[in-house]
């Protein structure tokens, strides 16, 4: 019994101190760049504190490994924030799809390590803000898609770091509904963002101390918001763990009472025997 309780306790601690692990179904798919060896992510979830991917698990096709993966496909996962460190796991990743997975926040540095990235698709996610520096340092990107997101604020310089960009999908957003798939249309996006998607009263796009403090306040707010579903999803674990503690204490108490009662009964029995003698 004690061994079982120890096992459950260890599982509980791991549950709340885990490093994110990608469980992949590996397969080959067609892409804009030919055949792509793909990690199709299964049952992945993260939070702001736990989104650093340390490894990928799954059965590779013959003669393949993580180094051969060029596409990461994530659909209907739970990722309020983009997973980090995927470039270390898949150093040749070119295509990153994370669709309909509850992504809410895109932060500077999210794409660090993805040095060969060519397609970035976050369609069907409740993303509201695209900041100017999100794509900074990723000039290899050719295709981006924010199709059916909730974009309300887009800095007019958001795409300045993408000289190779040839397709950009911003269909069905709050401030813009537009698809750019040639050079002239791509060049028109900055003006469209400036006219439709910049709020001059919103400090997130302005320089200065007020901007930084406002951004910090926004981040604190969204961090608290994103912890709520994580806590709710683990409420049963907490209750189960507390129940096990109660059971353990009850067993210890029962053993103590039983031992004491047994000792008293033996003394009483010996007393009767000696009295009869």
pLDDT band at 272 (very low <50, low <70, confident <90, very high): low
Q: How far apart are CA 214 and CA 199, in angstroms?
A: 14
What local confidence, expressed as pLDDT, does residue 250 receive?
Answer: 79
- Residue 235 is predicted with a pLDDT of 60
Q: Into how many domains does the chain fold?
A: 1
Range of the domain at 104: 19-209
- Whole-angstrom CA distances from 22 to 31, 65, 83 are 21, 14, 9
The count of other CB atoms within 10 Å of the CB of residue 2 is 8
Taking residues 168-176, report their average pLDDT: 98
Task: Quote the pLDDT of residue 8.
Answer: 46
pLDDT digits (tens, 9 = 90+) for 8-54: 444 444 444 456 899 999 999 999 999 999 999 999 999 888 999 99
In terms of Cβ atoms closer than 10 Å to its own Cβ (0-12, 13-18, 19+), residue 106 is: buried
Query: In this structure, is residue 250 part of a structural domain?
Result: no
CATH number (domain holding residue 162):
3.80.10.10
Residue 100 covered by a domain: yes
**Is the full-model pTM beyond 0.85?**
no
Contact 137, 160 (CB under 8 A): no
- pLDDT value of position 270: 67
| pLDDT for residue 155 is more than 70 | yes
Q: Is 272 within the bounds of a domain? A: no
Decide if 219 is inside a domain.
no
Task: Please give the structure tokens belonging to residue 161.
Answer: 């770091």
Task: Provide the residue count of the chain.
Answer: 277
* Residue 242 maps to a domain: no
- Please answer whether residues 47 and 78 qualify as being in contact, where contact means their C-beta atoms are separated by less than 8 angstroms: no
Does 189 reside within a domain?
Answer: yes
Residue 226 has pLDDT above 80, yes or no: no
Q: What is the mean pLDDT of the chain?
A: 82
Let me know if residue 52 belongs to a domain: yes
Residue 192 lies in a domain: yes
186 and 166 Cβ atoms separated by less than 8 Å:
yes
pLDDT bin (cut points 50, 70, 90) of residue 221 is very low
H helices present in the chain, as ranges: 2-16, 86-89, 183-196, 209-233, 235-276
């Amino acid at each position: 019994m004690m061994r079982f309780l120890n096992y459950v306790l260890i599982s509980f601690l791991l549950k709340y101190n885990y490093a994110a692990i990608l469980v992949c179904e590996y397969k080959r798919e067609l892409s804009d760049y030919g055949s792509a060896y793909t990690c199709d992510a299964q049952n992945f979830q993260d939070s702001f504190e736990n989104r650093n991917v340390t490894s990928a698990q799954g059965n590779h096709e013959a003669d393949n490994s993580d180094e051969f993966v060029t596409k990461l496909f994530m659909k209907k996962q739970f990722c309020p924030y983009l997973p980090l460190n995927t470039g270390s796991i898949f150093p040749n990743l070119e295509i990153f799809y994370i669709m309909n997975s509850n992504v809410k926040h895109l932060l500077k540095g999210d794409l660090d390590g993805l040095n060969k990235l060519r397609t970035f698709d976050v369609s069907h996610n409740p993303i509201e803000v695209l900041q100017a520096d999100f794509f900074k340092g990723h000039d290899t990107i050719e295709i981006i898609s924010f199709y059916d997101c909730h974009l309300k604020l887009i800095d007019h310089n958001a795409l300045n770091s993408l000289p190779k960009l040839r397709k950009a999908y911003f269909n069905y957003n709050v401030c813009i509904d537009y698809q750019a798939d040639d050079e002239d249309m791509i060049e028109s996006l900055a003006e469209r963002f400036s006219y439709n998607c910049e709020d001059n009263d919103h400090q997130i796009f302005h320089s200065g101390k007020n901007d930084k403090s406002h951004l910090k306040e926004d981040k604190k707010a969204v961090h608290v918001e994103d912890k709520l579903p994580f806590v709710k999803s683990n409420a049963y674990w907490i209750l189960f763990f507390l129940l096990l503690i109660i059971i353990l204490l009850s067993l210890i108490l029962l053993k103590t009472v039983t031992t004491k009662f047994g000792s008293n009964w033996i003394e009483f029995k010996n007393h009767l025997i000696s009295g009869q003698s």
